[in-house]
Amino acid sequence: MKLVPVNVDAIVIGRPLPCALRDQSGVLLASQGFQVGSREDLESMIGRRSQIYIDFDQSDNFRRGYVNRLNNLVLEDRELGQIAQVQVSPYDAKREKVEVDVSDLPDWIELQTQAHATLRDTHGESFLPRLERLQTELERHTLRNPDATLFALIQLASSEMQHYSATHAMLVGVMCSVAARSVLRWPADECSALVSAALTMNISMTDLQDRLVTQKEPPSPQQLSRIASHAARSVDLLQQMGVVNDLWLEAVLNHNARFPGPLGRRGAGQRLARVIQRADMFAARLSPRLARAPDSPGAAMQSCYFDENHQIDEAGAALIKAVGIYSPGTYVRLTTQEVAVVVKRGHNTTMPRVAVLLNRQGMPTGEPILRDTSLADYRILASVPFRDVKVNLSLDRLLAISRQVGTDRPW
């Protein structure tokens, strides 16, 4: 039996326990389904024990479970007691599936797996319905809580290489969706075609994309040939599967085109393609590869801001205005020399709300501290690469802080 500690404050009073509680030796304290009647009952049950535990199996990667819980508990406007939360010590532990009411919370690991399966299985009549279900679910969460959605996908894209192609497609799709709706104010049919194109732009080389991120050597001539031709091959594949939307197909065909200039001088399909190309560039630079370290989020974002002639790119500028130079889920260093995680976008693209994780001495704060970076004392100095932040976040405390944070976005 593998035991991992439970955060006592996350135990729901007055509702059945989702799993059995045990002491350090594995002795049963309360069985699954037992209802804790009051805080006094809970304290009596724990007694003098410094910690209580539940049984976890050992299978999946801790980081993936952490990203999912971080999104669900930190950025959703929920009461802490709605979900039994654990703090996992081993990095390879996986949370046991428990029966709790999380019907309205997004499961980003499940969505990532769903996208991975959909983009790889491009045969049969089921592809388009499955893609539509994925897109509908993704856009529902984007509209309901764009900060949470960006947070989850940027964390996934920046911290792991598994299911790269699926994560990349979802992140590009969400960035494009937020920019098209909130900044560019495009009509609904163009926004829908834009997200469809972003999700399927690389569908002809999904397997190759996933292989390249774990490949130490440079792409072979054969791989380079497949990369160069993938846009046209993706269009052919989509047409074979029944896609007839011209905006969608034109955006996929031209999503790698590098033609600078204003969006207003382009046709609708070309406008969509340019926004995808800029978001694609950002997401690719943000993601790690076995052969290279990722760019910092700030550097990745700024790379899409200037076009091929080193002028401000209209599509890139719209993306930055929509998601911020310092996007939710990224890490920053403040003028106080503290390191913080961005939890909410602000009215200004460079002034989000953040929660401090490391103090000026580089030590964990224990209690994450909310900062408003629009204040002169707490300005952001720079992005901090994901690999440089080695701290286990206390999710319940982050949740308590993030629930105090409103949004300063004008939309």
Residue range 234-275, pLDDT digits in tens: 999 999 999 999 999 999 999 999 888 899 999 999 999 999
Tokens of 246: 């011209």
User: Same domain, yes or no, for 313 and 388?
Assistant: no
Picking from 89, 88, 85, 87, the residue whose alpha carbon sits closest to that of residue 72 is: 85
User: Same domain, yes or no, for 319 and 366?
Assistant: no
User: Same domain, yes or no, for 176 and 192?
Assistant: yes
- Is 118 in contact with 127 (CB distance < 8 Å)? yes
pLDDT at 100 over 50: no
pLDDT at 86 over 50: no
User: Same domain, yes or no, for 292 and 198?
Assistant: yes
- Is 196 in contact with 269 (CB distance < 8 Å)? no
Examine residue 182 and state whether it is found in any structural domain, yes or no.
Answer: yes
Examine residue 409 and state whether it is found in any structural domain, yes or no.
Answer: no
CATH value at residue 169: 1.10.3210
Give me the torsion for CA of 239, 244, 248, 249, rounded to 10°: 40
User: Same domain, yes or no, for 250 and 383?
Assistant: no
User: Same domain, yes or no, for 371 and 228?
Assistant: no
- Is 197 in contact with 234 (CB distance < 8 Å)? no
Picking from 174, 235, 153, the residue whose alpha carbon sits closest to that of residue 200 is: 235
User: Same domain, yes or no, for 196 and 251?
Assistant: yes
Examine residue 92 and state whether it is found in any structural domain, yes or no.
Answer: no
Structure confidence at residue 107 (pLDDT) = 74
132: left (phi over 0), alpha (psi -120 to 50) or beta: alpha
From CA 349, how far away is CA 179, in angstroms rounded? 13
Domain that holds residue 147: 108-323
Domain boundary among 304, 323, 342: 323
User: Same domain, yes or no, for 338 and 304?
Assistant: no
Q: Cα dist. 14→82, 335, 360 in Å?
A: 11, 45, 41
From CA 363, how far away is CA 359, in angstroms rounded? 5
Specify the residue for token string 């034109």: 250
User: Same domain, yes or no, for 55 and 180?
Assistant: no
pLDDT band at 85 (very low <50, low <70, confident <90, very high): very low
CA 220, 222, 225, 227 torsion-angle sign: negative
Examine residue 66 and state whether it is found in any structural domain, yes or no.
Answer: no
User: Same domain, yes or no, for 121 and 163?
Assistant: yes
Structure confidence at residue 315 (pLDDT) = 95
Examine residue 407 and state whether it is found in any structural domain, yes or no.
Answer: no
**How many separate domains does the chain show?**
3
- Is 54 in contact with 6 (CB distance < 8 Å)? yes
pTM over 0.85: no
Tokens of 245: 């939307």
Cβ burial of 33 (10 Å; 0-12, 13-18, 19+) is: exposed
